[in-house]
Structure formats: structure tokens, C-alpha cells
A and B are shown apart, each in its own frame.
Chain A
Amino acid sequence: MEALTSRSVQVSRKPMSLAERLFLPAILKGMGITFSHIFKKQPTIRYPEQRREFSPVFRGLHVLNRDEEGRERCTACGLCAVACPAEAITMEAAERLPGEEHLYREEKYAAKYEINMLRCIFCGLCEEACPKDAIYLSETFAPANYNRKGFIYGKDDMVIPNLKTDPEGFAKAKGSPRNN
């Protein structure tokens, strides 16, 4: 039969020599290779404790931003939803009532805002479309989940914690601090 490739080698059926039958030299050679790697630079990191730095253009989980006074920036203009190629974003708008000025920046706000992370492709077009600097893709992953319904992200999951009242949560939502 014609060989399929020019690199095929016939299996040698010769009986093994004494050195080969002892196996020890081969074991020692293998151990040598293994031990030599202890002194080499590790290509891996210890993941949950150590984390790699993200690229500055990394597009991770969405956050809905607040302004300097801690008011939500989103006005439910719908530009992110119309820009979204995966049609993952939906929202419902409401009018700000008197007395809610400290919560929402403009007279109209997103009462409900939802991103279906099963559909989202993390392209970042929502971030580009946003005229109010309200939506950002942070430097965090979307955590894994056993259920599909865990991937429907509402406002509770996305609005960034208030920097003034909850600085720790704010830093966590923003993503890993970069070592500049």
C-alpha cells in the first residue's frame, strides 16, 4: 500500500537491548527533564490568587456608570440597544419624579435595563454609541453559571456602586487595579 505521507516510519520490531530492558536510563532521563523545569521561568500563574493584567482595550462585563454626585447617567435613549448587533439590550424608560433628583441625572431615566449575556458578544458597540458615558465594559469577566436565567443581567447587577457610599464595591465593579 502506498504511504499516505512521506514522514511515516516503519515500527521497529527488534528485541530490546539490556540497557533498554532495565528502563532506568530512560526514567532518569525523563526525571532530568522534569527537574530541569523547576529552575525555568513559569509560563503559568496561580489563577484565583494571582490575576493577569488586562489589556487596556479589554471588553468585559458591562457597568452602568454614575456621575460625580452618584446619580445614574443612563437616560434610556436606546442608542445602545439600536447599536447592539446581537440585540441583547432592552430597556424601559420612566420620568423622574420630584424628589428623585439625587438618583437620576436627567428627567428621563432607565427604570429597567437589561442585558442578555447569553446573546452579548462583548463587541463594545453599546459603549461607543452611548452619548451620556453611561455604559462601560469593565475589566471583569461575566461569571459562569449553571442556569441560563443567571445570565439575564438587570440594573441591580450592572449599576456601579456609589463611589461615595460604597468605595469598595465601586473598585470591585470597575475591575482589577492595574499596576501603573
Chain B
Amino acid sequence: MSDTTLFKVTIDNISIDVPAGTTILNAARMIGGDVAPPAMCYYSKLEGSGGKCRTCLVEVSKGSEKDPRPMPKLVASCRTTVMDGMEVKNITSPKVVDARAGIVEFLLLNHPLDCPICDQAGECHLQDLSYEHGKEGTRYEFQRRTFKKHDLGKYIQLHMTRCILCYRCVFAADQLTGKREHGILDRGDHSEIATMIEKNLQSDFIGNVIDVCPVGALTDKTFRFKNRVWFLKPMNAHRDCPTCSGKVTLWNRGEEVFRVTARKDQWGEVEEWICNECRFEKKLSSDWTIEGPRLIDRHSVISQGHYAGTVGTNMPTETIEAVLHGRKPKLLMDIHEVSEVNRPKIELSKINGPAHSNNFNPDND
């Protein structure tokens, strides 16, 4: 791209040369770190996304070299392209920080804040955003918006109350699958993600809507309520898949595969789309070739699992047996004889859909 003109843009006093036509958000992402504004609806891999959530608002303090007047209002950085000599303030502008905190509150207006139940908790962008801005509570006193429940089939669980209408799943279905079967129905306060007539979402790549969803509105039904993400061990793995690249992240507990997701980069975006078969059907360790543990940001609650390095991939060496010449130590209590959880013979990951009270009946043991 040698023929394209480079524009010099300064974001939070850091200058960078970017090709003309780059958005402010992408220029900030090239710098990286805290300079990059958060984005709930923009998704670099989905064409047309962005401009819905307003969390990426920035202040343009100098329009360009030729026209140095500042822009009168805060602009959505995912939709505004850079100009030569533009000066942008993101976190250095109190106006932006204040506006963003307000937008988080608006996004949480109808959000049920049921994080203790939600499977997305721990990797939810809205949760991160609200805690970053100190708006994890709510001041809303009225009845929250509720919806008629739609069943989207055996793979995908829709919680419309948690949706922030970012349209990412609509774009994903449009651009990845042959035929989109869901979309936004109604308008204004009533708009909701749904299928027109009760219909299962079944096309091959539709599972990716779970990964693009920034909140817990679309979650994996095969993983529903099985475990919390911070108790799971994320591992890079791949398999020879005829439909997709087969490069995924496995979320293991011990040897059990609880969940399969695509690999996400530092902006929480999918690196390579994966197919439904990889995501929902391959829940055995033997299906996958494990590459190694996945690096998790140390600020994430998922790193609470302490699965860094080779932890969890190598079995610890038993020293007592070697010292006692092969004699095994006498166990005073085998926890599995007493404990009712994590029973070795029962694998929750193999139940289709969430576990129910009948899965825990003592008669089934």
C-alpha cells in the first residue's frame, strides 16, 4: 500500500502515521494499550458493524491540519475516519470519560444485571466496561423491559433481556452463513433479536454469533450452567475439520472439555471463525490435538484459575512413592468417596444442555 497517502494522527499525545481512510478506533488500536477506546458493537471482522453503542466516543480537539477547528461534539471513533494532523483525546479528556460513564449507565438501563447466573460473566465486555467506569450498580428504579422467550434451537440460548442491540450477531449471520434466519424485530424500545416464526438457527457457522455477542444474550446451550469460566482451563487446540480451520480454544476442567470457542485476540475478536461441529459436537479430549495453555490477561478473572505455563498440562511427579520404594502412601480419606461434587464417573460436560435436578438424582448414579 505504498501509493496510499499516510495521515499523521495524534491520539492522547501519541502520534502515528496511518493510511487514509482508517478510522480513529483502528488508528488507536494500532497504538494499542489504554489509548484504544472500548467498542461494544464495532467488530473489525464484520463489515458494516459499529456506530450503534456509542462507547467508543472520543473528542477531536483539532479537526485536521487544514481546518484546525475542533469537532463540536464527541464523535464515534469506529465510524470517523482520520484526517491529516488530527488530534484526538480519548482517556485524557474528562469529557470523554464522563460521557462514556453515562453511556455505560444507559446500556445497563434495561440490563438485568444477573451476572451471578449469566454464563458470560468473567468474559463479558459490558461487565468489564461497567466496572472500569465504576457503574456496576444501577440507579434505575422501574420495571425492566422483558420479552417473550424465543427458542433458537438446541445449540444457542437467547436471553433477550441482556441484549444491548449491537447488531453484531445479525452481521455475523449475514456474512458467514448462506441464509440469515434471525434479525431485529420491531423498533425502538421493543426491538428484539428473534426469528420471524419460531425457527431453529441451524446453519453451519451460526455458532459464531455466540462469540461475537459482547454480552450474555447469546450463549452456548451445551455449556449452559455447567461451570464458570474462571474454573476452566483454556487451551489452544486444533483438529482436522473439513468445514473450518479447526483452530479453537478448549475450556477444560481436568480432562473434560466443557466448552469450545474460537480463539479471541486482545480486542476480544475472533481470530478464525469455527463451525458448529467443532463448537458443539466435539466434546472429547480425544477429538482434539492440544497445543498448549492459552495466555490469559492477568487482569482477567479467568487468570484466577492459575493455569499459567504448564500448570494443568503436566501431571505432578509423585515423590512419596519413589521414597517409599514404590509403596503407595496410605490415604486416610479419598475425597471422591465422601464428596458429592466432581464425581469421577459422572461427566456434566456430556449432558446435552444444562443439568437439571434429575441429573443429580442418587438413583442415576
Binary contact track B325-365/A, C-beta < 8 Å → 1, others 0: 00000001101011111100000100000111111100000
One of B33-41, B75-83, B223-231 at the interface: B223-231
Chain B minimum-CB-distance residue to A104 = B357
Q: Tell me if A82 and B356 are in contact (CB < 8 A).
A: no
Docked CA distance A65–B365 (Å): 28
Interface flags for A104-128 (1: CB within 8 Å of B; 0: not) read 0011100111101000000000000
Stretch from A18-26, A146-154, A172-180 at the B interface: A146-154
* Cross-chain contact A93 with B225 (CB below 8 angstroms): yes
Known contacts A75-B117, A77-B116, A78-B231; is A154 also within 8 Å of B340 by CB?
Answer: yes
Docked complex Cα distance between A22 and B363 (Å) = 79
Tell me which residues across on chain B come within 8 A of A92, comparing CB atoms. 341-342, 348, 355, 360
Q: How far is B361's CA from A111's CA once the two chains are assembled, in angstroms?
A: 10
- CB–CB A148/B339 < 8 A: no
**B338–A93 CB distance below 8 A:** no
B339 and A94 form a contact (CB under 8 A): no
Smallest beta-carbon distance A6→chain B, Å: 49
Q: Which of A72-87 contact B (CB under 8 A)?
A: 75-79, 81-82
Q: Is the CB of A131 within 8 A of B225?
A: no
Whether B304 sits at the interface, judged by CB under 8 Å, is yes
Encode B305-341 as 1/0 by CB contact (under 8 A) with A: 0000000000000000000000000001101011111
Q: Answer whether A149 and B116 are a contact pair too, CB < 8 Å, given A82-B231, A95-B355.
A: no
User: From B116, which residue of chain A is reached at the shortest CB distance?
Assistant: A77
- Verify B357–A112 contact, CB threshold 8 A: no
Contact A112 B356 (CB under 8 A): no
Contacts of B357 in A (CB 8 A): 94, 97, 100, 111
Distance between Cα atoms of A91 and B355 in the complex (Å): 13
Q: Is B115 among interface residues, defined by CB-CB distance under 8 A?
A: yes
Where chain A touches its partner, the secondary structure class is mixed
Decide yes or no whether B121 CB sits under 8 A from chain A.
Answer: yes
Instruction: Select which of B114, B116, B121, B339 is within 8 A of A90 by beta carbon.
Output: B339
Chain B residues contacting A82 (CB-CB under 8 Å) are 228, 230-231, 301, 304
Distance in Å from the Cβ of A128 to the closest Cβ of chain B? 15
- Chain B residues, Cβ within 8 Å of A148: 332-333
Residues of A contacting B360 with CB < 8 Å? 92, 94, 111-112
Asked if residues A77 and B225 are in contact (CB atoms below 8 Å), the reply is no
Q: Is there an interface contact between A112 and B117, defined as CB atoms closer than 8 Å? A: no
Q: Are A131 and B335 in contact (CB under 8 A)?
A: no
A114 with B339: CB separation less than 8 A: yes
Cα(A108)–Cα(B340), bound, Å = 18
Q: Of the candidates B114, B230, B231, B338, which one forms a contact with A106 in the assembled complex, judged by CB atoms under 8 Å apart?
A: B114
Q: A149, B117: Cβ atoms under 8 Å?
A: no
**A95 close to B340 (CB less than 8 A):** no
Q: How large is the interface on A (under 10, 10 to 19, 20 to 34, 35 or more residues)?
A: 20 to 34
Chain A residues with CB below 8 A from B230, complex form = 78, 82
By a CB distance below 8 angstroms, the chain A residues around B224 are: 95
Question: A114 to nearest B CB, angstroms?
Answer: 5
- CB distance B332 to A94 under 8 Å? no
Contacts A94-B356, A95-B355 given; does A77 touch B231 at CB 8 Å: no
A75: min CB distance to chain B, Å: 5
Contact A112 B225 (CB under 8 A): no
In the bound complex, do residue A152 and residue B338 qualify as a contact, i.e. CB atoms below 8 Å apart? yes
Cα distance, A71 to B360, chains bound together (Å): 19
Residues of B within 8 Å of A79, CB to CB, are 116
**Could you tell me the distance in whole angstroms from the C-beta of B341 to the nearest C-beta in chain A?**
5
CA distance A79 to B117 in the complex (A): 11
Write out the residue numbers on chain B whose beta carbons fall within 8 Å of the beta carbon of A95: 224-225, 354-356
Query: Would you call B116 and A75 a contact (CB within 8 A)?
Result: yes
Q: Which of B115, B117, B121, B332 contacts A107 (CB 8 A)?
A: B117
Are B116 and A132 within 8 A (Cβ)?
yes
Least Cβ distance of B349 to chain A in Å? Answer: 12
A141-169 vs B: 1/0 string, CB under 8 Å? 00000001100101000000000000000
State how many angstroms separate the Cβ of B127 from the closest Cβ of chain A.
12
| In the complex, chain B residues whose CB is within 8 Å of the CB of A108 | 117, 225, 354
Alpha-carbon distance between A91 and B227 when the two chains are bound, in angstroms: 9
19 CB-based A-B contacts, threshold 8 Å: A77-B117, A78-B228, A82-B230, A82-B304, A92-B341, A93-B227, A94-B354, A94-B357, A95-B225, A97-B356, A97-B357, A97-B358, A111-B355, A114-B341, A116-B335, A131-B116, A148-B333, A149-B333, A149-B337
Please give the residue numbers on chain A whose beta carbons come within 8 Å of chain B beta carbons, in ascending order: 75-79, 81-82, 90-95, 97, 100, 106-108, 111-114, 116, 131-132, 148-149, 152, 154
